[in-house]
Amino acid sequence: MTVDALGRLVLAVAILVVPMHVLAQGRSSVPTVGVLAPGPAELRLSAQGREAFERGLRELGWIPGQTVRIEYRYAESKPDVLEALARDLARAGVDVIVARATPAIRAAKQATATIPIVMSGAGHDPVHLGFVASLGRPGGNVTGLTLLNQDLPAKQLQLLKEVVPRLARVAVLGSRAFALHPKGRQDLAAAAEALSLQIQHVEVADTDDLDEVFGAMARARVGGLLVRSDPFVLEPNTARITALAAKHRLPAVYWLHTYPEAGGLMSYGADLFEVHRRSAFFVDRVLRGARPADLPVEEPSKLVLVVNLKAARALGLTLPPSVVGRASQVIE
C-alpha cells in the first residue's frame, strides 16, 4: 500500500470513528436527572420545589439545561400513575431519580434496583418501609432525606396541647392513598398517651369526602386536629382544608408551612423546600461517582414552626408567648 493510499485509509477511518466518539463523549458529559413527584405540576408546591432543587444544583456548579438535563414527571395526584412514570424514567436510562414523597420513592424503588434514587422528603420512616437498610448505611440504590424525625409527632401534639390546654381528643387526618405506616401509628399512640390525649385516625378517599369528614369530626366533639403529610388529597386542597377547619372551629397543626399561609392555625415540620434544595447535594455526589449505599440518609436538622395569629383570633384562641416566641414565622 502506498503512503498516499495509507493516508486516505487513515482519513476515512477517522471520519467514521471520530464523530461516533465525540457523540458518545457528548452524551456522557451531560447527565440526566429524573424527578418523580406525586402531585400536580401546576401546584405552587411543585413550582417552589423545582426552583429550590435547581437552585441547589446551581450552587454545586450544575446548570440545568446545559451541564445537566432534568426530566420532570408528575402524577397529578393519581397514585396509580406513579408506577408507570417511574418505569418510564428507568427505561429512559436516567443517571439518577429524585423521588419526592414516600409514594414516589416506593414507585421508583419498584421500577429499578440499579439506578440511584435520591429521596427528597420521605414522609415515613425509610428503614421500616424497607427503602434502606439503615440511615447510616443505606446499603442499596436509595439514599437522600426524610421529612420526619422521631420526635415530630410528639412535638406536634404537644403544640396543640399548649394552645388548647383542656384538649382531650385529637383527630389525625390523612388520605387512604397515603396510609400511615404501623410504626407511625405506634409513635403517635405513644405520644398521645404521654400527653393524656385520645387520638382518632380519619382518612379520606378523595376531595369529595372532605366536607363530610370535617362535619363528622365536629359532631364527635374533637378538640383538635393534626393534619398529616399527603401529596394526593390534602396538599392540593390546602386552602379548602384550612377553611373547613376554621368553619368547624377546629384548632389544627399541620406539617407544612403553606397551611398557615393559607389561613391555618400553625404548622410544625421540616422546611420542605430546604429538603428539595439539599437533595441536589445527593445528586451531585452520585453524579460524581459516589454510591447511594455509602451516603447516609439525612433527617431534618431544623424543624420550623409557623403560627397564624389571625387564625387564632378567629378561633377565639390566644397563643401562649411560649409558642409565639418559638415561631420561625408569625403571620399577623
pLDDT above 90 for 163: yes
Q: Does 89 lie in the same domain as 206?
A: no
CA distance 192 to 226: 12
Q: Does 297 lie in the same domain as 206?
A: no
pTM score, whole prediction: 0.86
Is 71 a member of any domain?
yes
Q: Does 310 lie in the same domain as 279?
A: no
Q: Does 74 lie in the same domain as 49?
A: yes
3-state SS of the chain is: CCHHHHHHHHHHHHHHHHHHHHHHHHHHHCCEEEEEECCCCCCHHHHHHHHHHHHHHHHCCCCECCCEEEEEEECCCCHHHHHHHHHHHHHCCCCEEEECCHHHHHHHHHHCCCCCEEEEEECCCCCCCCCCCCCCCCCCCEEEEECCCCCHHHHHHHHHHHHCCCCCEEEEEEEHHHCCCHHHHHHHHHHHHHCCCEEEEEEECCHHHHHHHHHHHHHCCCCEEEECCCCCCCHHHHHHHHHHHHHCCCCEEECCCHHHHCCCCEEEEECHHHHHHHHHHHHHHHHCCCCHHHCCCECCCCEEEEEEHHHHHHCCCCCCHHHHCCCCEEEC
Is 321 a member of any domain?
yes
Q: Does 71 lie in the same domain as 143?
A: yes
More confident residue, 138 or 43: 138
Is 24 a member of any domain?
no
| Minimum mean pLDDT range among 10-19, 182-191, 263-272 | 10-19
The pLDDT value given to residue 181: 79
Is 85 a member of any domain?
yes
More confident residue, 292 or 185: 292
CA distance 69 to 47: 17
Q: Which domain holds residue 103?
A: 30-147+272-301
List, in sequence order, every residue forming a beta bridge with 97; answer none if it has no partner: 34, 117
Q: How many domains does the chain have?
A: 2
The pLDDT value given to residue 28: 52
Tally the residues of the chain.
Answer: 332
The pLDDT value given to residue 124: 75
**What are the tens digits of pLDDT across the range 275-318?**
999 999 999 999 999 999 999 999 987 889 999 999 999 999 99
Averaged pLDDT score across all residues of the chain: 90
Q: Does 276 lie in the same domain as 263?
A: no
CA distance 160 to 197: 10
Is 22 a member of any domain?
no
Is 53 a member of any domain?
yes
The pLDDT value given to residue 14: 38
Task: Tell me phi and psi for residue 142, to 5 degrees.
Answer: -120, 135
Q: Does 67 lie in the same domain as 206?
A: no
Contact between 36 and 104 under an 8 Å Cβ cutoff? The reply is yes
pLDDT above 70 for 27: no
| Minimum mean pLDDT range among 19-28, 127-136, 187-196, 294-303 | 19-28
The three cell numbers locating residue 104? 414516589
The pLDDT value given to residue 12: 42
pLDDT above 60 for 186: yes
The pLDDT value given to residue 182: 83
Is 277 a member of any domain?
yes
Percent of the chain beyond pLDDT 70? 91
**What are the tens digits of pLDDT across the range 253-283?**
999 999 999 999 999 999 989 999 999 999 9
pLDDT band at 166 (very low <50, low <70, confident <90, very high): very high
Contact between 162 and 224 under an 8 Å Cβ cutoff? The reply is no
How many CB atoms neighbour CB 321 within 10 A? 8
Q: Does 257 lie in the same domain as 161?
A: yes
**What are the tens digits of pLDDT across the range 45-59?**
899 999 999 999 999
**What are the tens digits of pLDDT across the range 198-251?**
999 999 999 999 999 999 999 999 999 999 988 899 999 999 999 999 999 999
